[in-house]
Chains A and B, each alone.
Chain A
Amino acid sequence: DAGVIQSPRHEVTEMGQEVTLRCKPISGHNSLFWYRQTMMRGLELLIYFNNNVPIDDSGMPEDRFSAKMPNASFSTLKIQPSEPRDSAVYFCASSVRESAGELFFGEGSRLTVL
């Protein structure tokens, strides 16, 4: 079975550019989570969806960040405009359901903003 699939794996961009990160959750999983990991702040939840509906976006840093889940098999996280402080590894994770607890993580998208 395929796990959570993220793309791109690496992205290097210049400040001010738009960045779009993509995620395909595990089939049959109803909850999807976007996390960001940095050395300074560890793993932080940005937003999560339940049955394609955004439930909690309190971790989204600011209006430059947006996330969508148009269907059960696809989600995007967009940063526009990007800034150097957005450099991090962005993980997408899915779980069977919101209450399940166990998260299945994708391999992450490493973003570098110059």
Chain B
Amino acid sequence: EDKVVQSPLSLVVHEGDTVTLNCSYEVTNFRSLLWYKQEKKAPTFLFMLTSSGIEKKSGRLSSILDKKELFSILNITATQTGDSAVYLCAHHHSLGAGKSTFGDGTTLTVKP
């Protein structure tokens, strides 16, 4: 059974801090790894990673994948209170099994 494990489960930081969220996976038929941000409502897409070593960046957020060590990290620099959310990592299967397996998420709280 595919497994996606995120750490830490929760994190409290102050504005301006830099955080690193971790996602490790044990899956068959890897296709891609995705990061989502979930505030009070629905998860919204952040990044999709398919290749090792290529950093994806969007503003203060960046993410990278290591397919050899089977993990990904999501970095947030200069955190703001608006970054407070649950960050979800998901593995998207290949071979026509078009479903995603989600980790339990990391709850990030950014204090002013």
Interface size on B, residues (CB 8 A): 23
Min CB gap A19→B, angstroms: 20
Min CB gap A52→B, angstroms: 14
- CB pair B42–A105 under 8 Å, yes or no, is yes
Q: Which one of B14-22, B60-68, B70-78, B96-104 is at the A interface?
A: B96-104
Asked if B53 lies at the interface with its beta carbon under 8 angstroms from chain A, I say: no
Asked if A71 lies at the interface with its beta carbon under 8 angstroms from chain B, I say: no
Main secondary structure of the interface of B (DSSP, over half): strand
Q: Known: A43-B88, A91-B42, A108-B42. Is A103-B105 also a contact (CB below 8 A)?
A: no
- CB pair B104–A42 under 8 Å, yes or no, is yes
Main secondary structure of the interface of A (DSSP, over half): strand
Q: Known: A42-B102, A43-B102, A55-B98. Is A107-B41 also a contact (CB below 8 A)?
A: yes
Give residues 1-52 of B contacting A (CB, 8 Å): 31-32, 34, 36, 41-45, 48
Give chain B's interface residues, CB within 8 Å of chain A: 31-32, 34, 36, 41-45, 48, 88, 92, 94, 96-105
